[in-house]
Amino acid sequence: MGNNNENIQRRTDEDGVIFMSVKTEGENQTKSSDEKDITILAIESSCDETAAAVVRNGREVLSNIISSQIALHTIYGGVVPEIASRKHVEKINGCVRAALSEAGCNLEDIDAIAVTYGPGLVGALLVGVSEAKALSFATGKPLVGVHHIEGHICANYIEYKELEPPFMCLVASGGHSHLVYVKDYGVYDIIGQTRDDAAGEAFDKVARAIGLGYPGGPKVDAAAKQGDPDAISFPRAKTSEKSYDFSFSGLKSAVLNFLNQAEMKGEEVNKNDVAASFQKAVVDVLTEHTMEAAKEYGCKKIAIAGGVASNTSLRERLQSECEKQGIAFYRPSPVLCTDNAAMIGAAGYYEFLKGNTMGMDLNAVPNLPLGDRERRYHGRSSK
Ligand code: KG4
Ligand code: ZN
């Protein structure tokens, strides 16, 4: 199983953007020698990371370059879409060049160009989509459009070479909280999703309320390690007995009320206890729904994906529950859980194998639903 070893080379550019070259260890043989290798150049720019990667046969990462703008957005307390788009434009060519050069490739060695075309910030997505279209047009290489959340799920294939569908996957990121039954490559049944805030969004809002700043998830995670998770009893929302849906807005309001009441009474709040108690409430619900869903679907494999999947407590809880129930647990390294292009290369590979390539009319689709790719892409004609 995956080794979760991270080897990241970093440098900070003059403008504060952090350039990372990520090496993930593991066996590199992904095909028998008589089969033809498929090498994909992948591009991701849906939010505040500009990323490019070269991935062979969907699972072998030859290079993984991430240019993170987090530091630029921190002063505004969240991602500023206009700044994100402008930085993507500045960084994308450098990322693609670095990805090719670290992989020891040039464009002739590439079989297809994969790119995230939704969901995400429209201006940010457009930069990656335009870059991929330009490269595809100039080289004649096929263009593959990838759903960002499918990419997150496929990050598991990179680290766990033996993992094959079907499996249950909890996807928890800044914009999504989905329980997905992965039936086959590229075939997804969404069996639960958030009715309001995504889990990562709740982490970010609570972090802001307790003064930890942006990005909230990693800061709450760190603060929670110093706090008592049983200090405050926050609610765990159950949307209905039969549903695997999530709801985090009530929990977020409960934290805000707790902070307001303490302030009105002039009581000092222990931020670490609030962080730990809030985190426990989120982790309880995510874990419970995932384990129940795996049981109902008879899944012996559970995977996690998305930025929140790098949360220490969530990883530990699911690991221990899976051990108790004899279920194999798959958790990519934190750097493969947050946004990157290697995961887009993995998802793009399986789309490419199915012949799902796209034309020069590929557009960014900011609200692209999971499992509904073609209909949305051809949105107007399907009506
Ligand atoms: O998947 P991702 O990198 O971007 C989106 O597709 O949204 O997820 C970002 C989200 C943010 O809300 C961030 O606060 C959260 O993932 N996150 C975490 C942790 N690291 C990132 N949440 C909880 N604990 C963490 N360690
Ligand atoms: Zn993401």
Ligand with smallest separation from the Cα of 338: 1
252 versus 381: the higher-pLDDT residue is 252
- Cα(257)–Cα(278) distance, integer angstroms: 13
> Cα(173) to centroid of ligand 2, in Å?
6
Residue with the bigger pLDDT between 347 and 383: it is 347
Average pLDDT for residues 189-197, to the nearest whole number?
Answer: 93
Task: Calculate mean pLDDT across residues 236-261.
Answer: 90
Model pLDDT for residues 52-68, shown as the tens digit of each residue = 999 999 999 999 999 99
| pTM for this entry | 0.93
C-beta separation of 353 from 157 below 8 A: no
pLDDT of residue 2: 53
> Which mutation among 49, 68, 148, 308 tests ligand 1's pocket best, with the greatest number of atoms within 8 A of CB?
308
Pairing assessment for the beta strands 60-68 and 49-56 based on DSSP bridges: antiparallel
C-alpha of 109 from chain center: 28
Question: Cα–Cα distances in Å, from 84 out to 91, 92, 250, 273, 357?
Answer: 10, 12, 30, 33, 27
Neighbouring residues of 348: CB distance < 8 A, sequence distance ≥ 6: 40, 42, 55, 112, 114, 115, 144, 146
Other beta carbons within 10 angstroms of residue 227's beta carbon come to 21
Ligand with minimal distance to 224 CA: 1
Banded model confidence at residue 353, pLDDT cuts 50, 70, 90: very high
Token pair of 222 as six digits: 């760190």
Say if residues 75 and 31 touch (Cβ distance below 8 Å): no
| pLDDT score for 28 | 56
Distance 250 CA to ligand 2 centre (A): 24
pLDDT tens for each residue of 170-181: 999 998 899 999
Tell me the pLDDT tens digit for each residue of 275-331: 999 999 999 999 999 999 999 999 999 999 999 999 999 999 999 999 999 999 999
Instruction: Give the closest residue to 245 by CA, choosing from 180, 195, 303.
Output: 195
pLDDT average, residue stretch 21-47: 81
The least confident of 116-130, 138-152, 269-283, 367-381 is: 367-381
